[in-house]
C-alpha cells in the first residue's frame, strides 16, 4: 500500500464524519454516536485483520486510541454494541454532544461520559496513529 493509498484510506475513514449540531439536535447527535461507533469498528477491523471483532477492537484502542485502552471493553460492550444493537447506550455510559468539559469523566462507578465532538477528535487522532503505523510497517501495511 503506497503513501497515496494510505492517505486515501485515511480520507475514507474520516469522510463526512463531523456535523455542526445545535443543542436541540439530540436525536441527530445520537445517530452521530452510532455512526462513530461503526467507524471505530471498521478501523479496528482494518487494523487487525483476521482477529475476532472484540480482540481487534481492544488491539486498536491499545495501539492507537489517544486516551489508551483502559475503557476499551466498556466502549465495546456499553457504547458500540448497545448503541448499534439496542439503540441506546449501555448501563453507566452517558453520551452527549456540545459538552466537551465532561468528556471522559467517570460517571457512577465504572461508567463513562462520552461527548460526541471530543470523541470525533479522539477518533481522528486514532486514525492518524494507525495510518502512521501502517506507513512505517511494510508487512502490516500489506
Residue 6 lies in a domain: no
Q: How many domains does the chain have?
A: 1
Query: Quick one: which of 101, 69, 86, 71 has its CA closest to 33?
Result: 86
Matching residue, cell 479496528: 44
Matching residue, cell 471505530: 40
Residue 72 lies in a domain: yes
Q: What is the pLDDT of residue 109?
A: 80
Residue 11 lies in a domain: no
Report pLDDT digits (tens) over 16-61: 999 999 999 999 999 999 999 999 999 999 999 899 999 999 999 9
Q: What is the pLDDT of residue 139?
A: 81
Report pLDDT digits (tens) over 84-117: 999 989 888 999 999 999 999 998 888 899 999 9
Q: What is the pLDDT of residue 84?
A: 92
Domain residue limits at 32: 27-141
Longest dimension (CA), the chain: 47
Q: What is the pLDDT of residue 108?
A: 81
Checking if the pLDDT of 73 tops 80, the result is yes
Amino acid at each position: 500500500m503506497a503513501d497515496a493509498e494510505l492517505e486515501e484510506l485515511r480520507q475514507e475513514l474520516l469522510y463526512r464524519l463531523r456535523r455542526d449540531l445545535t443543542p436541540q439536535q439530540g436525536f441527530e447527535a445520537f445517530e452521530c454516536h452510532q455512526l462513530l461507533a461503526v467507524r471505530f469498528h471498521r478501523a479496528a477491523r482494518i487494523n487487525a485483520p483476521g482477529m475476532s471483532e472484540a480482540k481487534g477492537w481492544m488491539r486498536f484502542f491499545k495501539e492507537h486510541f489517544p486516551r489508551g485502552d483502559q475503557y476499551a471493553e466498556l466502549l465495546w460492550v456499553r457504547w458500540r454494541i448497545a448503541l448499534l444493537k439496542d439503540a441506546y447506550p449501555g448501563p453507566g455510559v452517558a453520551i452527549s454532544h456540545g459538552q466537551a468539559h465532561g468528556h471522559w469523566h467517570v460517571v457512577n462507578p465504572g461508567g463513562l461520559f462520552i461527548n460526541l465532538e471530543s470523541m470525533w477528535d479522539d477518533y481522528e487522532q486514532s486514525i492518524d496513529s494507525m495510518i502512521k503505523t501502517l506507513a512505517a510497517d511494510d508487512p502490516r501495511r500489506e
